[in-house]
Structure 1
Amino acid sequence: MTRGIRNPKIDPFFRKADKWKEEFAKLREIVLDCELVEDFKWMHPCYTYEGKNVVLIHGFKEYCALLFHKGALLKDPHGILIQQTENVQAARQIRFANAEEIDEMQLIIKSYIDEAIEVEKAGLQVEMKKHSDYAIPEELDNKFAEIPELRSAFEALTPGRQRAYIFYISQAKQSKTRESRIEKYIPHILAGKGMDDE
């Protein structure tokens, strides 16, 4: 079995890591044992198979993780894959709190990486939800009834912009907050802009 290709350009990422240095080093060796090519994407070490993203190493305050780009397609016999938020459709994480966990799970981790490589070899794709599959918040629907041109402007937005508005408005727990979020962005929507557009 050949080893994956280590990329010296990524060494500084591992050298500079404060919190998860030992864990990152162990994860790197495990992933490289699975014959993947090491790259640097989204400011993190990313491992690819024939140019396709398979897994990424990243760290957070409470844990470090392997993020499988198409983790939703993995069988997960050990029940260890985690969906970061309900809005994440394809990616799944295996989280680690310390180096000992990584040592104990080494064979399991490799089996998940091997399966993720098979997913890429088979050309499988995660079926993403269409924006029409997302529920429009009631307050936004009411506003559409009140201002018909707002609905037209909203429907003319790209699916990604529509989703961003739906998520942002829906995340507010109180109806009053959802309404104020809608009010704030009415001019943006009418102007055909996304939330972050100037």
Structure 2
Amino acid sequence: MATNKEDTIKIFELNTLTYGTASAPYLATRCLVEVANENEQQFPEIARIICKDFYVDDLLTGTNSKEEAIDVIHKLSRILMSAGFRLCKWISNEPVILKDIPTEDQIPNCVDFENGSQTKTLGLMWQAHHDALVYALKNLPELKATKRRILSETTQIFDPLGLLGPYIIVAKM
């Protein structure tokens, strides 16, 4: 490609967050904190939710009533949308809370309240109908059980809340 030394230099600026880079989780979290700080005076509870209930780009929060949950959804969506964050993949253990959420912003075919379906949230399975966290088990291949194999399998268990700790420690011992 031929270049002309007489051409002016063009400057390009990336205006989106590129996931996969080392700084992406920090930048995403820092942007949310800034949005919370900007809205703290007018909406202190929503600012607290933004600061405390997000894990990178996943929000897990709760309220004491259905009406309060609906109010939080509307305020949170409006505040974050004003900063360019569109919330989607909504799910709740109470179907009435999601009635105002557009279908395209809900998790499709995920919550079947009749059949007790489940969704994955932060590495755990959640049965919304029963409001229960469920651990998915994998079938182990039938290999010889050695100390190394047992330790290898137990270290792969994702347990962020430590609920399986009493069981895992027995296997590790």
TM-score of the superposed pair, with normalisation by structure 2 = 0.26
Higher relative contact order (CA 8 A, sep 6+): 1
Q: In terms of Rg, which structure is larger?
A: 2
TM-score of the superposed pair, with normalisation by structure 1 = 0.24
Greater helix proportion: 1
Greater strand proportion: 1
